[in-house]
Structure 1
Amino acid sequence: MLEHLSKSTLQQLIDSDAIEQIEAVLGSLRNVPFDHVEFHKRKNLANIVRVFRGDGLLKDQKALQLILSELGPSDIRGICNTLKITEIPPSIEQFAQKISRRHSKNPELKKSFGLSYLAAEPPDKPPTHLQIVGPAPYPFRQLKPYQMSILLRTLQELSPSLSRCVLQMPTGTGKTRTAMELISFVLNDSSPDDVVVWLAHSAELCQQALQCFAEVWSHVGMHPVEIHQILGDSSGLPFDRPNRHFSVMGFQKAYSLLKRDSHPFAMYRDRVRLIVVDEAHRVIAPTYRAATEGLAGDRARILGLTATPGRSTSNEEENKALAEFFFNKLLELESPNRQPLFSYLRHEGLLASAVRTPLETGRSYELSREQLASLEEEGDLPVGFLKMVGADDARNALIIDRVYEKSKKSSRIILFSCSVDQSKFIASCLNFIGVPTAHVDGKSSAENRAAVIEDFRQGRIHVLCNYGVLTTGFDVPKIDTVVITRPTASLILYSQMIGRGLRGPKLGGTETCDIVDVIDNILGMPREQRAFRYFEQYWG
């Protein structure tokens, strides 16, 4: 339906500067011929609208008024039939308001607007609780020897009440799966009303944990266990429900409930036997720490999960505080035959060999005094600086050229952008030159993200551009290229980004993964690449 609109209307739905910028960059590509006439055809402008506006297009009343005012009677009747509206609203304004308020998530409406990859059914609202009882509907995957070894060591470390430790396993080696076996062991050995709590910072990580626990418990569980999800609009802790619980909580939700009423926490924490903190480096943030300690009673052990043992490459005080929170107990993965760990993991097909292919841009940027202070305080480059870098046309042309060449050989490429605008920009350019590409960011709806990721998993999308959402809680094993366009001083963030492509063939991944680091000359930032040096052992 967007193709039915005039060029001027399509251009109004996109920022005019963005259109000029896309056209200029496409015209400067070295490896792809560019046709200016073809670019301005309605079908191509409509595709840019889809990338830049996403599923937010159907929530924007002004945009809808612009679209509806230009559609013919047959298109209007088609929309009414799709939405089962018997009478056409008397004005364009009222029709746009009705769509944006009541029908913006309608999958059939999204299809009629050509938003095909956004047309997933809205996810079902998660139940308050559910009970897992066997038999399991799928075969059980036994732990690998290296996972079983560290599981037993961790159980021994956590045997005393109030003990704490961090379990460090490199990205792609099965931290969550190993932790679920440990949780199952604890619940099988528990009293009838004991509770295990899983804390994570994002809904995606929480959902991943729920799915993994359900799979493991259905095979090894010896008792019925209630699963509780304390996320989003959850009303509170299930402190008044008996039986064993596995409760998955978002940090922010847990903290808001604690601030609202601490009484349920006092009741619940007496039953808590184990707290597992996913992405353990986050726990020393004041609100996260308060939520964790608010759930820790007199018997609670606390286990942190991480791929990297520190919080920062530059802030030793934060690293010290993190270590002290976990009583300076760090359990690291070991190979069973004293072979170097990463060599063993690659040899066994558990970890992909990372092949680093830097893209030297030759571009120079200078950090201001304020930006340097922010870097020192926050441990990473400020958002404003990243937006400036992401808006550099010459740099973006080099990135698009490289991704275009990679797409000829790679089936799944994930790209981490400097900003939302850069992610949309690169996705629009790649789509035009024939590379099926999608974009997601923090404002994308849950159903949009789920649909895009599924299309990526199935190979209908070859490149997935994102900003700030796919570093964790994202499970697509066969990623063979990771493109990192955003410069970072954060060891944790760099670990998370490259980790998306490091799962080996025995875990459903690939033998090798190309890591395309976009390298700039950032004046004022230490030239030494501490994050890269730290991860030298990943490079195959």
Structure 2
Amino acid sequence: MELRPYQKEAVRAVEREWEQKHKKTLLVMPTGVGKTVVFAHVAKNEVRNGSKVLILAHRDELLTQAQDKIKSATGLICAKEKADETSLDSWYRVVVGSVQTMMREKRLQKFAPDAFGTIIIDEAHHCLASSYQKVLSHFPEARVLGVTATPERNNLQCLGEYFDSLAYEYTLPQAVKEGYLCRIKAQTVPLSLDLTGVKMSAGDYAAGSLGTALDPYLEQIAVEMKKYCVDRKTVVFLPLVATAKKFKAILTHHGFHAAEVNGDSKDREQTLKDFEAGKYNVLCNAMLLTEGWDCPSVDCVVMLRPTKIRALYCQCIGRGTRLSPGKKDLLVLDFLWNTARHDLCRPASLICKSKDVADRVTKDLEESGEAADLEEAEQKAAEEVIIEREEALAKQLKAMKARKRKLVDPLQFEMSIQAEDLSGYVPSFGWEMAPASEKQLKALEQYGIFPDQIENSGKAALLLNRLAKRRSAGLSTPKQIRFLENRGFQHVGTWGFDAANGMISRIAHNRWMVPKDIHPASYVPEPDLFIPDGGVL
């Protein structure tokens, strides 16, 4: 199986982290872009290097999926460690193991601590659970790769308590832009569902309490769905089996060809096949189909299980992001959840890393009342947020520019190159949180950045990496940015080096004054001398 460019890059990145002694590293990729294929090739390379590999997962569907994908992608056959099946007498070098089975003391003690040189955790956002930690601690010298869909920031920080680094991240917007996932449209439905009395459990809404709160609205929701998704293949996620069954009956009454599946459904496999074949156009489930199930032709997702957990939300919406012949896009129906206490995941949560931008996208979608392309909505919102942020920071930036120092304040540099990932950076891993090293601070000074405001090693590393890339790409330097912006030019960070250098030369030849025919606030260099997409390098 020929790997896609980003998959090759991901495999190399993981191996590079291990070579650099980051024994526990993360791979973050959205649902539908082939992360199983990636870790299958990582496993193949580890076997080739003499290592035995354990792939851990918490559901049988994921174990079977891993077995099948590893065989088809690499030709390797896997042994299985689950219930009565064991790998102990097998000569196969890759083992897929159920964490529920492996954690049992009697089973775990049958394996020597060095039995596996490499451990790969599928759906790694679960790995902080005691069951996973018990298995992982039994093999202390193994190199570990955790694979997960895009986690929320605070979840990544939690994972940072165990993992040493993030080896590679391939984002949903990247996958859409490069044509590996379908475009996503969001439609805000003007139906307000009251969650103010719903109880919380383990940091999210309690399913039982949600089911009760949702019941009075099911009829109205079915009516709204007839407006938007009657011609689409739709998956509906609900909090309880009883609620899913009730909603299936309501949808059928409203003319949909609806089906319902749950963990106890005797005909579950046949129902899923019938849905895929087109016998049903709506499939209701109580969070059963969040992992390990693929139906690429799904082109509408209705999330009636409100959640604060972004990983869960992404998993559910990810059931509809795969490409399929004749499929134009994925429609996500977004209801107005009325809750004064908690921030809920909304469609903007899929692609926006900044809360400010996500909030603006959500507001814009609600005000328009029309289905909107999420990527386009995010770009528009990001521009609006940047303008607002710049206005709020104008006084602070003015004070910075007036300082009599040769080096550039980090904030001025970040705003100039419009790098939201730098200005909004939050350290996740232990090494990132440590103070910046003397070597890092000295390197920043050499680039022209005032280092005193760099609070941690992670931010310093990110800045240095960005500065090195900008130098290679021939973009303006921090010192050029400071000089020209002090004279009123805007966003010099989006200029090329030659454009900035040329303007400085003109000012120098004009006795260090801006030429009269130049208006700094509105000046834009020639197209080939600046970066028109915002210059985020």
For the criterion TM > 0.5, the same-fold answer is yes
Cα contact 2:173–2:351 (8 A) shared by 1: no
Q: Distance in 2 between matches of 1:384 and 1:276?
A: 34
Tell whether the 8 Å contact from 1:389 to 1:418 is kept in structure 2 after alignment: no
Q: Counterparts of 1:365-376 in structure 2 under 5 Å?
A: 365-367=195-197, 371=199, 374-375=200-201
1:534 aligned to 2:370? no
Cα distance between partner residues in 2 of 1:148 and 1:319: 23
Does structure 2 retain, via aligned residues, the 8 Å contact 1:413–1:479?
yes
In structure 2, what is the equivalent of residue 452 of structure 1? 271
- 1:333 has 2:169 as partner: yes
* Partner AA of 2:301 in structure 1: V
Distance 2:344 2:15 in 1: 37
Match of 1:119 in 2: none
- Do 2:14 and 2:168's aligned partners in 1 also have CA atoms closer than 8 Å? no
Is the 1:477–1:509 Cα contact (8 Å) retained in structure 2?
Answer: no
**How far 1:319 moved relative to its partner?**
4.7
Match 1:408 to one of 230, 239, 259:
230
Aligned to 1:229: 80
Aligned equivalents of 2:108, 2:166: Cα separation in 1: 31
Match of 1:210 among 48, 67, 77: 67
Amino acid in structure 2 at the alignment position of 1:324: E
Superposed CA offset, 1:249-294 (max 9, x none):
12112113xx23443122xx42312111111111111122112332
Any conservation in 2 of the 1:439–1:466 contact (CA below 8 Å)?
Answer: yes
Aligned to 1:512: 329
In the other structure, the counterpart of 1:474 is: 293
Match of 1:114 in 2: none
Please tell me the residue identity of whatever aligns with 1:444.
Answer: S
Match of 2:191 in 1: 361
Letter in structure 1 aligned against 2:330:
C
Inter-partner Cα distance in structure 2 for 1:213 and 1:388: 43
Query: 5 Å matches for 1:11-160?
Result: 140=1, 142-159=2-19
AA partner of residue 84 (structure 2): S
1:279 matched to 2:94? The reply is no
Change (3 A) 1:196 1:479: same
Q: Secondary structure in 2 aligned to 1:367?
A: coil
Aligned to 1:177: 37
Q: Secondary structure at the match of 1:354?
A: strand
Normalised TM-score (structure 1): 0.61
Specify the SS of the correspondent of 2:161.
helix
Question: What amino acid sits opposite 2:166 in the alignment?
Answer: L
8 Å Cα contact 1:487/1:519 also seen in 2? no
Match of 1:352 in 2: 182
Supply the AA of the counterpart residue of 1:265.
Answer: F
3-state secondary structure, aligned to 1:265: coil
* Pair 1:229–1:510, CA change in 2 (3 A): farther
Cα-to-partner distance string for 1:229-257 (whole Å, 9 max, x where unaligned): 222x325x42343x33221112112113x
Aligned residue in 2 for 1:252: 100
1-side partners of 2:119 and 2:56: how far apart?
Answer: 7
Deviation at 1:477, TM superposition (A): 1.0
Counterpart-to-counterpart distance in 1, 2:94 and 2:255: 46
For residue 397 of structure 1, what is the amino acid of its counterpart? E
Aligned to 1:305: 147
- Which residue is equivalent to 1:390? 214
Question: Could you say which residue in structure 2 is the equivalent of 1:264?
Answer: 110
CA distance in 2, matches of 1:402, 1:414: 15
Q: 1:319 to 1:197 in 2, by over 3 A?
A: same
1:529 Cα deviation from its structure 2 partner: 4.1
Task: For 2:237, give the aligned amino acid.
Answer: F
Identity %, equivalent residues: 26
Query: SS of the counterpart of 1:253?
Result: helix
Specify the SS of the correspondent of 2:226.
helix
Q: Which residue of 1 is the match for residue 315 of structure 2?
A: 496
The aligned residue for residue 474 of structure 2 is none
2:240 alignment partner in structure 1:
419
AA paired with 1:252?
Q
> How much has 1:530 moved relative to structure 2?
5.2
Give yes or no for the alignment of 1:292 onto 2:136. yes
2-structure distance, mates of 1:475, 1:280: 19
Gaps in structure 1 of 5+ consecutive residues? 1-139, 219-224, 335-340
Query: Shift of residue 359 of structure 1?
Result: 2.0
8 Å CA contact 2:229–2:300 kept in 1: the answer is: no
1:238 and 2:87 equivalent? yes
Distance change >3 Å, CA 173–CA 509, structure 1 → 2: farther
Shift of 1:532: 4.4
Residue identity matched to 1:263: Q
Q: 2:334 is aligned with what amino acid?
A: D
Asked whether the equivalents of residues 218 and 250 of structure 2 are also in contact (C-alpha less than 8 Å), the reply is no
Cα drift, residue 490 of structure 1: 1.2
SS of the residue aligned with 1:228?
Answer: strand
Q: Deviations over 1:69-109 (max 9, x none)?
A: xxxxxxxxxxxxxxxxxxxxxxxxxxxxxxxxxxxxxxxxx
Shift of residue 443, structure 1, vs aligned partner: 2.6
2:210 aligned counterpart, secondary structure: helix
- Of 312, 318, 322, which aligns to 2:159? 322
Change (3 A) 1:453 1:530: closer
Q: Does 1:196 align with 2:53?
A: yes
What is the rounded CA distance, in whole Å, between the counterparts of 1:475 and 1:509 in structure 2? 17
One-letter amino acid of the counterpart of residue 204, structure 2: D
Offset, 1:489:
1.2
Conserved? CA contact 2:334–2:346, under 8 Å: no
1:107 corresponding residue in structure 2: none
The one-letter code sitting in structure 2 at the alignment partner of 1:539 is L
Give the CA deviation at 1:483: 0.5
Which structure 2 segments of 5+ residues have no match? 353-372, 376-537
1:179-213: per-residue Cα shift (whole Å, max 9, x none)? 112212222232xxx42111111111111111111
Bigger relative CO (Cα 8 Å, ≥ 6 apart) = 1
